[in-house]
Amino acid sequence: MNFSDTKASIITTAHLLILSTLLAVCTAWTKPAVSHELQPAIINFTISEKTLNGTLELSLEPVISGMDLSALENTDDAPEAAQYDALRALSPQELQARFDEVWPNIKSKFQLNAGAMPLDIIIDKIIVPEVGDIELSRTSTLNISAALPDDGSNITFGWSAELGEIIVRQINDDGEVGYAKLLASGSTSDAMPRSGIVDVNWLDNFLNYIVIGFEHIIPKGLDHILFVLGLFFFSLKMKPLILQVTAFTLAHTVTLAMATLGLVSVPASVVEPLIALSIAFVALENVKGGKIGIRRTAIIFAFGLLHGLGFAYVLGDVGLQPSQFVSSLIAFNIGVEIGQLSIIAIAYVLLGLTFGKKPWYRSYIAIPASVLIAAVGIYWTIERVFF
C-alpha cells in the first residue's frame, strides 16, 4: 500500500468514525426522549403564623418504583425502567393506591423543618391525571399541610438526593413569588420567614443562576446545542463565528429579558417547533456554503429571538429571586453563554484543531454533520407540530 492509499484509508476511517458517532448521538436525541427525560419537581409553599400549605407537583411513577434520580437524566437508563413504564399505564386510582403503600417510606426522605423542629407532613389531597399517552410523563399534584409551632421560626425544606432536583417557591399573601430556588439533589432551601421575603446571599444566588443557565445548555439543552453546532460548522474562520455568536447572543438576551419581564408572551406550542425549524435551516445553509453576510446574520438574529423565548420558559419554571431580579437574570444569561461557548470550544478542539486545515474537512466533516443536524431539526419540527 503506497502513501496516498494509506492517507485515503486514514481519511475514510476518520470520516466513518465521525459520522457514526454523530449518527449515534443524533439517533439518541431523536428518540421520543422528551417523554423519558427527568424534570425537577416543583413545590409551592404558603406560610402563615400557624399553618404551612403547599402544592407538590411531581411524577409519582419514578418515586414509587424506587429510582435513584440523583444520578439519572433519563428514566430509560434506570434498572427500574420496566417497572416505571408499567406504572405509567395504571389508572389514577391504582397509581394513588401504590403511592399510599410507599408513602411512609417516602415521607421519611422529606426534611421540612421549623427552625430545628421537624414538621409532620399531611397529604390533604392527591390529584393524578388520567392515563394519556404513556410515552409522556404524567405530573401529579399533592396538596400538603403542616402545623407550625408558635415560636415564629423560619421554615426550611429539602429532601433526600435520590428524589432528584426540586424547585422550591414561597408564595406571599399577595400571590407573588417571594422566594424561588432550584435545589440540586439532596440540598436544602434557604430559611423562609413566615412573612416577608427570604434574605438570600447575593453571591450564592448569583452563582446558583449561573449553574441553572449552564445546565440548560449542558446537558439539558439539546436543541440549543445543535443550533450552536450549526453555527460552528458554517466556517472555522474567526470573523464568521464571532458575527454569528454575537447576533445570536444579542437576540436571545433581548427576548429572554422581555419574556421574563412579561412584555412578550408566545406559547411554547409555537416557539418549540420554530426552534427546531431554525436548527434545520441553519444546518442546511451550511451545506449551501458561502460567505457570512447581512442575510445570514439577520436570520441568526431572528432565530436567536426564538431561542430567547425558549430560555424564558426555563426561568418561568424556576422563577427569579424577586429581591435580586436583575442580577438573577444576568447570572442565568451568563450561564447560558458559558454553556454555548463551551460547546464551540469542545467542537473546535475535537474537530477544528484536528481536521480543520485538511482539504477534505468541509466535504467529510462539516457538510455530513450539518446534514445530520438538519435531519434532527426536521424530525423535531414534525414531532412538535403533529405529536
pLDDT digit string, tens, across residues 152-179: 899 999 999 999 889 898 888 777 777 8
pLDDT of residue 85: 87
Nearest to 355 by CA among 6, 3, 10: 10
pLDDT of residue 37: 55
pLDDT of residue 141: 96
Per-residue pLDDT reduced to its tens digit, 12-48: 455 545 544 554 444 444 444 444 456 789 999 999 8
Per-residue pLDDT reduced to its tens digit, 225-250: 999 999 999 999 888 888 898 899 99
Q: What is the mean pLDDT of residues 333-340?
A: 91
What values do phi and psi take at 283, rounded to 5?
-65, -40
| Confidence check: pLDDT of 347 > 50 | yes
Task: Count Cβ neighbours within 10 Å for each residue of 255-285 and write b for 16 or more, e otherwise.
Answer: bbbbbbeeeeebeeeebbbbbbbbbbbbbbb
What average pLDDT does the structure give for the chain? 85
pLDDT of residue 321: 65
pLDDT of residue 12: 47
Reported confidence tier of residue 6, pLDDT bands at 50, 70, 90: low
Element (H, E) at 155: strand 155-159
pLDDT of residue 38: 65
| Confidence check: pLDDT of 54 > 80 | yes
From CA 272, how far away is CA 293, in angstroms rounded?
A: 27
Indicate the domain borders of the chain.
3-30+212-386, 41-199
Q: What is the mean pLDDT of residues 7-11?
A: 49
68 burial level (CB within 10 Å; 0-12, 13-18, 19+): middle
Share of the chain above pLDDT 90, in %: 47
From CA 127, how far away is CA 124, in angstroms rounded?
A: 10
**Is the model more confident about 110 or about 383?**
110
| Confidence check: pLDDT of 134 > 60 | yes
pLDDT of residue 32: 42
Give the amino acid at 324: Q
